[in-house]
Structure 1
Amino acid sequence: MFRGIIFTLIAGIAFGFSPVISTLVYNNGGDPMTLVFLRYAYMIPASLSIVLFKKKELRLPAEQMLKLVFVAVGCSLVSSLTLYMSYQWIDPGVSTAIHFMYPVILVVLSLIIFKDKIDKKTIIALAFSIGGTLSIVEFGQSGSILGVVFAIVSSFAYSMYLLLNEKWRLAELDSMVFLFYVSVFCTLTMLVMMPLGFKINLNQPIENHLVMIVVALLTSCVGLLFMKEGVRLLGSRIASVISMSEPISALVFSALLLHSEVTISTVIGAVFIITAILILLYKPKRKRVKVSDTTHEKMTTNELNESKI
């Protein structure tokens, strides 16, 4: 379990760092749509090279391939696109708060669809993580119902991504094979979407492409892979709670690199999220059952009788 928690924390740190350096792209003429596209596109040759080097099998059963298509396009891509699109309609703080409700959505979905059970420790940790996220995020004007809808869709899609990775056993696939197919399906889908009005501007300064490569490595190669391993080792519900470390890492990197202000509420929120992780880590010691002298005597007598027989 400890290794799964470490993997999920690393994924949260990677996801938290990527939005901070993405601002460099936006300030230099980039846009979210192009960033999402190049994030997946750059990972195709990188992941394929590793797959070929490791001599991994790319052929998968048709049923498993269809599941991969749905998780890649219907979950990963939809979550990324709708989250970035929501920023254009509502305050990013509101959008982020809605998106980070995905652990709640995940628990509800697992209860309704898969009839899973949830223990008290997970519920308490979930409450702390949600309270921490709400404390970190600064709420502004809602701005548009459409923006709220985009943020909800993003949260729902990411919940399904985590849940289906576990339930469909996709987390058991080789990590690089998984990443390769997700990158291919998402890239092809965005190319098909271009005639529908989704603009992708590939004419970017070289600095933007370098930053986008870093974002691709952080979000796809590090974030997605470590999160996938976290889901495999911990399960989707516990991994979703621990991944709430992402807002904390985003705050730390924003303060260090962008000199963003750190308020008391953000510190309290960070403490709440760390508390949630510690609750999941805590394992009560099992009490040793002492055998009474009377019981010991009875056992000894029974053993003697059995030996006589």
Structure 2
Amino acid sequence: MDTAISHPLSKNQVTLVGFTFALLAAIGFSAKAIFVKLAYVYPVDAVTLLALRMAFSAPVFLGLALWFGLNKMSPRLTRNDWFAVVGLGLLGYYLSSLLDFLGLQYISAGLERLILFLYPTIVIILSALYFSHKIDKKTIIAILLSYAGIALVFLQNITLTQTGIVLGSLLVFASTISYAIYLIGAGQSIARIGGMRFMAYAMSVASIATLIQFAAIHPLSKLQLPLQVYELGMAMAVFSTILPAFFLAASIRKMGSGRTSMIGSIGPVTTIYMAHLFLGESITALQIAGSGLVLIGVLSISRH
């Protein structure tokens, strides 16, 4: 009888696997805006749509949180850890998602993804303001390039007479600030608790908060929606929430957070092309130029 011999993966194979996971995560997260815009064709509001996304994804994260809680090998959480999980979960996954969904009612999927992609610049700026971290000239130039790119895409959307673009952009930018604050605050907690465990707890908190909000402001009759909305909500939960979260964690384990974040920069590009393919959003030279400036700026900060 033949005996199977397992060989460890080579360094190149590990990198390829990590790259594949990072790419799938970036595409999955980018597709969220597409699902949201497709759902808004039907009579559904942001709170209800977000509740559907969280309701479909909550069992996975609650199950994962329970597994970590019962695992005796996991470090025991202190009261401060729980405060961090609840506070940052509400800030980074609940509030940020709600503001993003509200903003997508008014702006294109491509512009939304570019604004969200500014979060590294906001992390730098907030760190400088609150922790007295110095910003060198190269970083300042990178930040200016990023916001110049957003300005180009923003102006192009205005020329297309898109209504509510200012409100939508401000809502998504507020979402980006919320997520940046979450990243700054989550660093120590993630180091102590573990990335996947922290994410499971934080997402569980956000899911519960979202469902409570829906129950508080909407009657159950609001759930009488076309089947297509439920299908899009399920797709959003599976392909733009659950799977990307696991792909991202797997990629970081394979090749580290630095390389993973670099590959994630493909997100805005994939959103623009998916928006063109599925939503009929135009791709113009001005949009490409603006996107290029944002990518150059953010990548420069990431490498710094």
Q: State the TM-score, normalizing by the size of structure 1.
A: 0.69
**2:121 touches 2:298 (CA, 8 Å); kept in 1?**
no
Are 2:60 and 1:39 aligned?
no
Which protein has the bigger helix share? 2
Contact (CA 8 Å) 1:20, 1:250: kept in 2 or not? yes
1 CA distance for matches of 2:111 and 2:163? 9
Of 260, 263, 268 in structure 1, the residue corresponding to residue 284 of structure 2 is 263
Q: Which among 85, 109, 114 is matched to residue 126 of structure 2?
A: 109
| Cα distance, 1:281 vs structure 2 | 7.8
How many angstroms apart in 1 are the aligned matches of 2:109 and 2:194?
Answer: 36
- What is the alpha-carbon distance in structure 2 between the residues aligned to residue 187 and residue 128 of structure 1? 36
Structure 1 pair 262–151 and aligned structure 2 pair: CA distance change class (3 A): closer
Structure 2 length-normalised TM: 0.70
Q: Following superposition of structure 1 onto structure 2, how do residues 1-309 of structure 1 map, counting pairs within 5 Å?
A: 10-49=24-63, 56=71, 60-87=77-104, 91=107, 96=112, 99-118=116-135, 121-137=138-154, 138-140=156-158, 143=164, 150-166=171-187, 168-170=188-190, 173-194=193-214, 196-197=216-217, 201-224=222-245, 233-234=256-257, 239=261, 245-276=266-297, 279=300
Distance 1:234 1:120, change over 3 A: farther
The structure having more radius of gyration, on CA atoms, is 1
Partner AA of 2:57 in structure 1 = M
Deviation at 1:107, TM superposition (A): 1.2
Deviations 1:4-46 (A, max 9, x none): 9987665443222111123332224333222211222222222
> What CA distance in whole angstroms lies between the structure 1 residues aligned with 2:182 and 2:246?
13
Name the amino acid aligned to 2:27: I
Choose 57-66 or 15-24, whichever is displaced more: 57-66
Shift of 1:67: 0.3
- Paired with 2:269 and 2:229, the residues of 1 have a C-alpha distance of 25
**Matches of 1:50 and 1:108, distance apart in 2:** 34
Q: Which residue of 1 aligns with 2:11?
A: none
Distance in 1 (CA, whole Å) between partners of 2:303 and 2:124 is: 20
Q: Give the superposition deviation at 1:109.
A: 1.0
Task: Write the distance in 1 (CA, Å) between the matches of 2:296 and 2:20.
Answer: 15
Q: Is the 8 A contact 2:109 2:272 kept in 1?
A: no
Q: Secondary structure at the match of 1:169?
A: helix
**1:99·1:155 contact (CA, 8 Å) conserved in 2?**
yes
* Partner SS for 1:185: helix
Runs of 5+ consecutive residues of structure 2 not aligned to the other structure:
1-14
The gaps in structure 1 that reach 5 residues or longer are: 284-309
Is the partner of 2:180 in helix, strand or coil?
helix
Share of identical aligned residues, percent?
25
Alpha-carbon separation, structure 2, partners of 1:149 and 1:118: 25
Q: 1:78 to 1:276 in 2, by over 3 A?
A: same
- The alignment partner of 1:204 has SS state of coil
Instruction: Quote the Cα distance in structure 2 between the aligned partners of 1:188 and 1:14.
Output: 23
- Is the contact between residue 28 and residue 241 of structure 2 (CA under 8 Å) also seen in structure 1? no
User: Take 2:201 and 2:108, find their aligned partners in 1: how far apart are those partners?
Assistant: 30
